[in-house]
Structures are given as C-alpha cells and as structure tokens.
Amino acid sequence: MLGADIYFCNDGGNGSFTVQDSWSVAPQPPPSDVSQGGQDSIIYQHDITSLQNYSTRVLIFSRKLSTGDPFDTDIIHGPMDVIFAFSQSSELAWHGALNRMHSQINFYESSTAIAPSQTSTVSSSLLILHSISMYVAFIILYPLGIYVARYHRNLNRWLSIHTSLLSSVTSNVVVAALTAIIGTFGNTQSVHYKIGMAVIGLVGISSMAGYFATKLYMAHYRWSNLAAVFRYIHKYSGLLAYIVGLVDCYYGVVELSPTASEQVYYQLIFLVTVFIPPIGLYLYGEKQKHLNIDVKDYMGLNNLPLFRWEDVNHRVSLGAKWIVIDDIIYDIQKYMDFHPGGPYALNQMIGIDAAFAFNGRYTKKPLIEKFGSLGRRGANSDDEEDEKLRQQYVVNNPTTYVDEKLEALIYNHSRYARNILSNYAMGTLRDYDPTPRRSSKDVDDVTNSDSMLKESSLELGTSRVKRIPVHVNTFQHYIIGRKTLLTGPNARHPVYLFRLLFDEEDAEMHSRPGDSYLFQFVDDTGKLVSRSYTPIKVDSKGGIDFMIKLYNGEMTHYLSDAKSVRMRGPIPRTDLLNPFSESGCWKTLGLIAGGTGITPMLLIIDYHLKYCSRDPVTNRPNFHIHLLYANLDEKNIFGVKEIGELEERANGAITVTYIVSGIASEEFDGLVGNITPEVLIATMPKPLAQRKKFGLHLRVEADQPLQLVV
C-alpha cells in the first residue's frame, strides 16, 4: 500500500513486542517515520495478550488525532478506511492476500469492536478464479497466439487460430479484472493493481487495432496505409501487453505468498512456468522453419486442380488475372482493389512467376554492382569491342542496369499477406519442366563434324545444363543492359541492338534457326502486350541480342524507354534445319530478307558457321549461302557490321547482295530497284527439281546437295 500510514506489531527479538509507526513508500517492508525524517507519533502502547484468549498477540496504543507529522494521516470525524493484516512469520514479511481485510471506522465513536457487516474478507474461490484466468491468459494462450502468428505452417488457417487464441486472452483478462473487483481484493494502490490496469488497456488496444487492421485491408487499397498503422499498433501493443502481463502475474504471485520463504518458492515456480512455454515454442518453431515442407501443405492447399504453364499463358492471353507464386496459381481479379500496393503492382505480375517479388528475393542484381563503376569484366573479356562499348555505355548511363520500377515492386510479404492471398488460390502447377535448350558447350564437346555428331547420338535441342537463363513457358523479367543504335540519323525508323541480360554473367542459352522469343509487358490499365523477336546468334552468353526496329507500336514504344521486359523462349516457329543431315546444316542456302527480316537470316548463318563441317585444309565451311538483303534506301540499311563479321568467318562461303528500292548514291555497292525474277536468278542458287516438305521448298537432285530457299 503506497502512501499509507502503517502501524504494525514488531517482534523485538527478546520476547517483547513494540508498535512501529511507519509510512509506506514502496512495495517492500515499510520503513519507520523516524528513518524517513519524521517522528514516532505513538504516545502509549501496552501488551494485553494475557487479557484475552482469541489472538496470538494483542497490543494497544494511542496517538494524537493530528500529529503535524507529514508521515502521519490525520484522524477525522467520520468513516475512515482501515486495512488489517496479519502474518504467522516472526519476521517483517508480506502477509499474503488471504491474511488481510479492510473496513471503515469512525474513531470518534465509542464502539470498541468492528461490526462483522463492516468487514470484507477475500473470497478464496474468486481469488482462485482470478489467478487461473491470469495464468491461462499469459502463460498458455498468449505464447500460443504469438507462436501461431509467427510459425504456424498452415498459412490458410493461422489467422483464424491466432484470432481465437487472442480473443480468449482478452476474455480471461476481463474475467480476472471482474473477479478482482467483485472480490474486493484489488488494492487500488498496489503495484499489481496498477500494472493490471495497464494490461487491460494494452490488451484492449491490441485487440481493437487487429480488428481495424483486418477490416481496412479488405476495404480498399486506399486504406492500406492506415491499415498498416493499425497492424503495427496491434503487433507491438500486443507484445507489450504480454510482457507487462507477465510482470503483473509476478506481482500477483508475490501478494499471494503468505511468508517470505514461501514467496521465494512461489516465485521460482512462476519463473519456470513463464519461460518454458515460450522458449519451447520458439525452438520448435525455428526447427519447423527449416523443414522441407511442400508449399501446398504450408498453405493448406492440397486439393486444387492442376495446370501447366501452357494453360496459364493461354488463360492470361484471354484476359485472366492469374499470377503464380511458389507453384500456386492465384486468380487476383477480385483482389485488385484491395491490394495495399494498388492494382499497378499486381498487373505487373500477371502471367509470370511472381515469387521473386512476393518473397523479396530479386536475383537480377544491377550489373553496375557486378562490374564496378566502369562496368569492367576484366582483361580476359571475350569481346574487347563489346567491352569498350559496355564501359562507355555504363559511364554515360550509370543507372541503366537498374529498373527502378521493377525494384519498387519487390517486397518480402508477411504471413498475413500470404493468408489473404490463399483465399484466391485456384490451382497448382504440375511438376512439369519443359526440356531446356542445350548450351553451346554440349555441342562443342562433341565436334563440328557431321560424322562425330552421328556417332554421339546427341539430339540438338536437348540439354544437360540444369539451370537455364530463359524458360520456354515461363515469363521472367530481364534487364535491358544495352541499347545500341544501328541505323543512321536519317533512317525512317531507328533500329537498335537490344541486349537482355541473364541473371548470371556466365549463363548460356542456345537457339536454333526458326526459334523466336516472346517479349511481353503490362500497361497501366493491366493490358498485356506481347511480340515475338528473333535472336541474331545461336549461342548467347551473359545475355541475348535482338535487332528491333522502333515503330509507333505498343511494344516498341515501351521498349524505347524501358529498362526491363518480360521474356520467355525459345519458341520454335518452324523447323529450318536439314532433316537429312545429322548437324542440321544445308549444303546450299538461298536467303531473302527485308528490313528487320534479316535477324532470322543472321541466326541461320551463325548456326551453319558453328555446326557445319569444314575443309580440313582451307578451313572453308562445306556450304554456300546466298543472301539477298533488301531495304528502302541506304539510310535504312543496318546490320552491315554483323553481316561483315559473318562473311569473314565464312571464308568466302557467303555471298551477300544488297538491294534498295529507292535512290542510291554512287558509292552504294549493290542493286537498285525492286526484287524481280531476274534479280532472284542472278542472286539465288540455281534451282533444282522441287518437292515440298515441312512447308519449305526443298530442291533435290540425284547425287546433288540439298538446297533451301527462304
């Protein structure tokens, strides 16, 4: 009792007892008034134990009604609250909650006894109920509620279980408060009482904050910031309520202890029961986190229908709002207006595996971090010219390798977010891994000769590489690492060489003639825009190159300013390889291209230069390719450098003819005019007997090499 004028019978240790005038200043044995600078106000005291037979020790004493001592309470005319307490201990120790009573006494009246109706004793049944309610709330239910919120494996049910447990905590705290009030053993001046009031307030705040957070999250995304505030309040007020509740339980145990020796015993039991449940639950929860658990078990989603990535791509192309996270498919059409990040963030994840953004683990680190301030890869660069361009480009564009819009979407979502998302789960992906394309190393390890390829029985298009940078059925985001202008300043439409970067610098991708890669982006309205583009090289290391003409179309308009784009592939559009050759190479090729149609031709030529057999003496490839490249005028011609490099590698096995339909300068080394039969006869290989196979014109003659004209 803080601030109480206390008089207690004190054993002097020699068989005599005295009354000590004290003033309570802390929850501990009250010091005497004299020790605090006051005075001993007791005038007369006398031991009358021998004059009665119903008490162990009885002393009478007197003092002035008003002593003038600041450590004494004046006795007034009227009822005054008086507390009585006793202890069996001979030492000055806590009397315990069961050994006390209180009443109101008017000291001006002549009554010498306290009427029974004026005395209020502690109800043992209410005290037991109060103790059990507090124990169950803070020793059992609260640790379980925290464990469920943090570790429960079933993300679909943890929130309802957590809510039920914390609601039970609130109910138990209310019961404990009511029993203290009804039983009149709640001393309003005690530490236990005051901390208990704080616990009631914190539990109420935590419960209400959790309720409002849940409702606001499901109202509209415009309320998400306020919902996050309530969730923050719920989390930390709940944690504080748990800690303060344990402290309150400790003081309750102290008050229940009748003697000093029993007090130590009760405190020890309390501390053991307090720490064992949370520590045990924490260790068990941490162990569960590292178990290899099926994500469907983790989400409580074991009976969903199965889909493949082809199904996802098809449904999305028809307008479905499907996203994939950890092999679970979610239809988020009805969640667009509730997502805290707004519809834009969800739109950017439609149709792709969004685990990298949802789990906050984005592996595409900016290359400026990989290569340093100048983007250097070291002295052993495979392409010195490419390295110089890279360095110059990074210097001029220091933020090119970072897509800030994409980075802003990456966030490690909470278990609550996963719980909400589980309501929109509608399917799971089958264990389907499409056969990836082989890397160039797999082919190079065999040899370039047709005979060796035949002996090896290796099928082009298969792979032993476990990790491939681009997947045929799964869209992923790729950073646009370089965009180099290929056409002159006066070209009708500019053509750029785009390089899309892989996650890893040494990652390799293999493409074949007839393959294309599908680019995709989502506009601000959620509309998906997709276009196919053909790479210019068979083997791509660290990234893949495309020649793209920027028209006023949706995709090219996006690419003009974009720093990343979705991509999947390679997608076989047609098979342009020779079915009668183990290497897939043709002996004679006639290629006709106009504008950006040159890109599939570059891929065909690069494939033949890599895999066709060569003369062991001259190193000349055993094929001949005729390329007719048409454009409007000289200003629109591009790719001359790349074609020249292929001619140099071919050692005379490639014949290239440029033709423009407009006016040409005197320096132009090519044909002027339209493509006519005469032009075709002059530039293409001589025709042989024809037969149609696989949608292509194959020219075959006995004992003659196969020819292809595309």
* Residue 16, SS3 per DSSP: coil
pLDDT surpassing 60 at residue 103: yes
Bigger pLDDT: 523 vs 29: 523
Q: Report the b/e string of 49-74 with b at 16+ CB within 10 A.
A: eeeeeeeeeebeeebeeebebebbee
104 & 166 share domain: no
For residue 157, is pLDDT > 50? yes
Residues 129, 113, single domain; the answer is no
Following CA atoms 469, 475, 476, 479 in sequence, which dihedral angle do they give, to the nearest 10 degrees?
A: 90
List the single range of 19-28, 199-208, 392-401, 550-559 with lowest mean pLDDT: 392-401
94 and 218 both lie in a single domain: no
Q: Does position 642 have pLDDT exceeding 50, yes or no?
A: yes
3-state secondary structure of 56: coil
Q: Please give the distance of CA 429 from its chain centroid, rounded to a whole number.
A: 20
Q: Are residues 217 and 320 in the same domain?
A: no
SS3 443: helix
Query: Per-residue pLDDT for 37 more than 50?
Result: yes
Task: Read off the pLDDT band of 364 (50, 70, 90).
Answer: very low
Question: Average pLDDT, stretch 634-660?
Answer: 90
Q: What is the pLDDT of residues 540-565, one digit of tens each?
A: 999 999 999 998 889 999 998 888 89
The whole-number average pLDDT for the span 115-129 is 61
Q: What CATH number is attached to the domain comprising 690?
A: 3.40.50.80
Ramachandran area for residue 108 (φ above 0: left; ψ -120 to 50: alpha; else beta): alpha
pLDDT, greater one: 558 or 222: 558
Mean pLDDT of 338-349: 82
Residue 444 lies in a domain: no
**Pair 414, 502 in one domain:** no
> Averaged over 224-237, what is the pLDDT?
88
Q: Specify whether 568 is located in the same domain as 600.
A: no
User: How far is CA 513 from each of CA 149, 398, 574, 694, rounded to the nearest angstrom?
Assistant: 54, 35, 8, 14
Per residue in 41-50, pLDDT tens?
A: 888 888 887 7
Regarding whether 81 and 49 lie in a shared domain, the answer is: yes
- Residues composing the chain: 710
**Cα gap 184→195, rounded to integer Å:** 17
Hey, is 34 helix, strand or coil? helix
Give dist(CA 108, CA 91) in Å, integer.
Answer: 33
Last residue of one domain, picked from the residues 98, 121, 144: 121
Determine the Cα–Cα distance for residues 149 and 163; give it in Å rounded to an integer. 9
Flag whether pLDDT at 402 surpasses 70.
no
How far apart (Å, rounded) are the C-alpha atoms in residues 241 and 170? 11
Specify the 3-state DSSP secondary structure of 229. Answer: helix
Is-contact 295 328, C-beta < 8 A? yes
355 with 502, same domain: the answer is no
Per-residue pLDDT averaged across 265-287, rounded? Answer: 83
| b/e per residue 76-102 (b: at least 16 CB within 10 A) | eeeeeeeeeeebebeeebbbbbeebbb
Alpha-carbon distances, residue 218 vs 507, 665, 708 (angstroms): 43, 68, 62
Tell me the mean pLDDT in the region 222-232. 85
Q: In the chain, how many domains are there?
A: 5
Q: What share of the chain is helix, strand, coil (3-state, %, to 5)?
A: 40, 20, 40
The 8-class DSSP code of residue 51 comes to: G
User: In the sheet that 328-331 helps form, which strands lie side by side, from edge to edge?
Assistant: 306-307, 425-429, 328-331, 322-325
Average of per-residue pLDDT across 373-385:
40
**β pairing state of 515-522 and 564-572:** antiparallel
580-607 pLDDT, tens per residue? 888 889 888 899 999 889 999 999 999 9
Residue 290 tokens read as 């590292």
Distance CA 352, CA 520 (A): 10
Residue 37's Cα: distance from chain center in Å?
A: 63
**End-to-end CA separation in angstroms for the chain:** 100
Verify that 12 and 38 share a domain, yes or no.
yes
**pLDDT category of residue 699 using cuts at 50, 70 and 90:** very low
380 within some domain: no
Of the residues 572, 600, 626, the one at which a domain ends: 572
pLDDT band per the 50, 70, 90 thresholds, residue 577: confident
Considering the domain boundaries, does residue 394 fall inside one? no
| Per-residue three-class SS string for 457-501 | CCCECECCCCCCCCCCCCEEEEEEEEEEECCCCCCCCCEEEEEEE
Q: Is residue 542 within 8 Å of 600, Cβ to Cβ?
A: no
Provide the token pair at 247. Answer: 């402290």
CA distance 425 to 298: 13
Q: For 519-568, give the DSSP string.
A: EEEE-TTS-EEEEEE-BS-SEEESEEEEEEE--SSHHHHHHTT-SEEEEE
Query: Do 26 and 68 contact (CB within 8 A), yes or no?
Result: no
Average pLDDT (336-360) is: 82
Q: What is the pLDDT of residue 636?
A: 87
CA distances to 34, 39, 361 from 70, in Å: 11, 9, 67
The two tokens of residue 261 are 């020796």
Q: Is 360 exposed, middle or buried (0-12, 13-18, 19+ CB in 10 A)?
A: exposed
Task: For residues 41 and 64, give the distance between their C-alpha atoms in angstroms, rounded to a whole number.
Answer: 7
**Is 705 found in the same domain as 559?**
no
Which amino acid makes up residue 661? S
Instruction: Find the domain containing 25 and state its range.
Output: 5-121
Looking at the fold, whether 115 and 204 belong to one and the same domain comes out as no
Please determine, for residue 372, whether its predicted confidence score (pLDDT) is greater than 50.
no
Q: From CA 304, how far away is CA 429, in angstroms rounded?
A: 10
Mean pLDDT of 640-646: 90
Q: What is the pLDDT of residues 163-183, one digit of tens each?
A: 899 999 999 999 988 888 776
| Helix 124-135 and helix 158-182, axial crossing angle in degrees, nearest 10 | 160
What letter does residue 677 receive in the DSSP assignment? H
Residues 6+ apart with CB under 8 A from 627: 591, 592, 593, 601, 605, 643, 654, 655, 656, 657
Does one domain contain both 147 and 278? yes
In the predicted model, what is the mean pLDDT of residues 625-643?
A: 90
622-640 burial: b if 16+ Cβ within 10 Å, else e:
ebbbbbbbbbebbebbbbe
pLDDT, one tens digit per residue, over 410-461 is 778 877 787 788 888 888 887 644 444 444 434 344 333 333 333 333 333 4
- Angle, alpha carbons 448-449-451 (nearest 5°): 145
Q: What is the DSSP string of 307-373?
A: E-HHHHHHHHHTT--EEEETTEEEE-GGGTTT-TT-HHHHHTTTTBBTHHHHBT------HHHHHTT
Q: Residue ranges for the binding site for FAD?
A: 531, 533, 549, 555, 599
Whether residue 438 lies inside any domain: the answer is no
Looking at the chain, the whole-number percentage of residues with pLDDT higher than 90 is 19
Residue 105 and residue 501: Cα distance in Å, rounded? 89
Residue list for the binding site: 531, 533, 549, 555, 599
Mean pLDDT of the chain: 78
CATH number at residue 551: 2.40.30.10
Partners of residue 62 on adjacent β-strands = 44
Position with higher pLDDT, 297 vs 488: 488
Pairing of strands 654-660, 543-549: unpaired
In a domain? residue 582: no
Q: Are 569 and 530 in contact (CB under 8 A)?
A: no
Q: With 60 as the cut, is the pLDDT of residue 698 above it?
A: no
The pLDDT of residue 116: 45
pLDDT at 535 over 60: yes
pLDDT score of 378 more than 50: no
Q: What is the C-alpha to C-alpha distance for residues 369 and 398, in angstroms, rounded to an integer?
A: 11
The pTM of this model reads 0.61
Instruction: Give a yes or no: residue 217 inside a domain.
Output: yes
Tell whether 434 is covered by a domain.
Answer: no
Supply the pLDDT for residue 709.
Answer: 52
Peptide bond just before 570 cis, omega within 30 deg: yes
Look at residues 62, 88, 121 and tell me which one is the last residue of a structural domain.
Answer: 121
The answer to whether residue 384 is domain-embedded is no
Of 458, 454, 448, 444, nearest to 615 (Cα)?
448
- 191-217 mean pLDDT: 88
Question: E strand or H helix at 7, and its extent?
Answer: strand 5-11
pLDDT > 80? residue 695: no
In the three-class reduction of DSSP (H, G, I as helix; E, B as strand; rest coil), residue 252 is classed as helix
**DSSP 8-state secondary structure symbol assigned to residue 27:** S
> Which of 220-229, 537-546, 562-571 is predicted least confidently?
220-229
